[in-house]
Amino acid sequence: MLKTSRIEAKFEELKQKNEGALIGYLTLGDPGIATSEKLIKCLVESVDILELGIPFTDPIADGPTIQAAIDRALRAGMNTDIAFETVRKLRRGGIKTPFVFMTYYNIVLQYGEERFVKRCGEAGVDGLIVCDLPVEESKSLLEHCEKHGTDFIFLIAPTTNEERLKKILPSASGFIYLVSLLGTTGAREKLQKAAIEKTKWALRYTQKKLPLAVGFGISKKEHVRGIISAGAQGVVVGSAFVSLIAEKKGEACEELRKLARELKEGTKI
C-alpha cells in the first residue's frame, strides 16, 4: 500500500511507547443493533484496534460464546449493509480507532468481492479478516484490498509450518493473526505454554515484516503480559468481552471499559 494505513500507524505509535496492541472483538448487532453501536463506542476508548464480526449463519471458527453472540445479532436483524452503515456512523462521530471486519468468505462472495472491499474503504474499515479463505484462493480479493487501501490480515494456526508462513507473509498486510490454540475461540483460565512457544516461533519469520498479534483463549491481564513478554506486538481478546455483553446486555458499557483497561495494563512491558 502506498500510504500508511491506520493499523500500521497504530502499531508504530505503540512501538514508540513500548506497548503492545490490545485488539478487542465484538459481534456487530449483539445484543441489538442500536445497543451494539453504543457498546462499540464504550470499548473503542480503551482498546487500540477493534475487530467487528459480521454475523454468519455457520461460524466454524467460533466457540459457543461468540456463536451465541452471532445468533443474537442475526435475530436482531444485523446484516452486511447495516455493518457498513454502523462503521460509517461511528467514523462520522469522530472515532479514529482502527476497525477490522472479521467474517467468512460466503458473506464477501454474496456481496461481491469488489463491492464489499470498496464499501470497507468508504465506510472507514481499515482491515479485513476472512477466517476461511486460504492464501491460495485470495488473489482477487487481495487485489481489491490493495486498490481500496484495506489491509488484508491472515490467520496462522498452531499447525502452520515454515513453508506455509513464508507463503502467507508476502500477501499479508496490517498484522499477522496467530491463533494460539487448536479449536474454536473462547476464554481459557491459563495461558498454555504451547502458545508462548508458537509465538516465539512465528516471530522468527514475522519480526521484520509485519506485527504479530496473538488471539484465541486470552482473557486475563497475565495472559496478555505473557504473550507481549514473548515478543508479540499485540493480543486479540474477544470472548471475554462478548461474555460481558451476554451477561449484562445493554448495561455492559462500564464493565467493558474496566476489563479493557485492566487488559491494556498487560501490554505495557
In tens, the pLDDT along 42-63 reads 999 899 999 999 999 987 777 8
pLDDT surpassing 50 at residue 1: no
Handedness of CA 29, 113, 162, 50 (dihedral sign): negative
User: Is 153 part of a structural domain of the chain?
Assistant: yes
pLDDT surpassing 60 at residue 215: yes
Model confidence over 97-124: pLDDT tens digits? 999 999 999 999 999 999 999 999 999 9
For the chain, what is the domain count? Answer: 1
User: Is 1 part of a structural domain of the chain?
Assistant: no
The verdict on whether 62 is a catalytic residue reads yes
| 73 burial via Cβ count (<10 Å: 0-12, 13-18, 19+) | buried
Q: In what helix (H) or strand (E) does residue 31 lie, and over which residues does it extend? A: none
Model confidence over 135-168: pLDDT tens digits? 999 999 999 999 999 999 999 999 999 999 999 9
C-alpha to C-alpha distance for 21 and 15, rounded to whole angstroms: 9
Percent of the chain with pLDDT over 70: 96
Mean pLDDT of all residues in 22-48: 97
User: Mean pLDDT across the chain, nearest whole number?
Assistant: 94
Percent of the chain with pLDDT over 90: 88
Model confidence over 167-192: pLDDT tens digits? 999 999 999 999 987 655 555 566 77
- Output the pLDDT for position 141: 99
Model confidence over 228-242: pLDDT tens digits? 999 999 999 999 999
pLDDT surpassing 70 at residue 2: no
Structural domain of residue 93, as residue ranges?
A: 6-265
Active-site choice (8, 37, 51, 126): 51
Which one is predicted more confidently, 70 or 62?
70
* All three cell numbers of 149: 487501501
Report pTM: 0.95
Active-site choice (62, 81, 163, 251): 62
pLDDT surpassing 60 at residue 69: yes
Mean pLDDT of all residues in 125-134: 97
C-alpha to C-alpha distance for 259 and 144, rounded to whole angstroms: 36
The pLDDT confidence band at residue 269, using thresholds 50, 70 and 90, is confident
User: Is 259 part of a structural domain of the chain?
Assistant: yes
Mean pLDDT of all residues in 190-197: 84
The verdict on whether 51 is a catalytic residue reads yes
User: Is 221 part of a structural domain of the chain?
Assistant: yes
- Output the pLDDT for position 21: 99
Helices (H), 19-63: 33-44
CATH code of the domain covering residue 150 = 3.20.20.70
* All three cell numbers of 170: 508476502
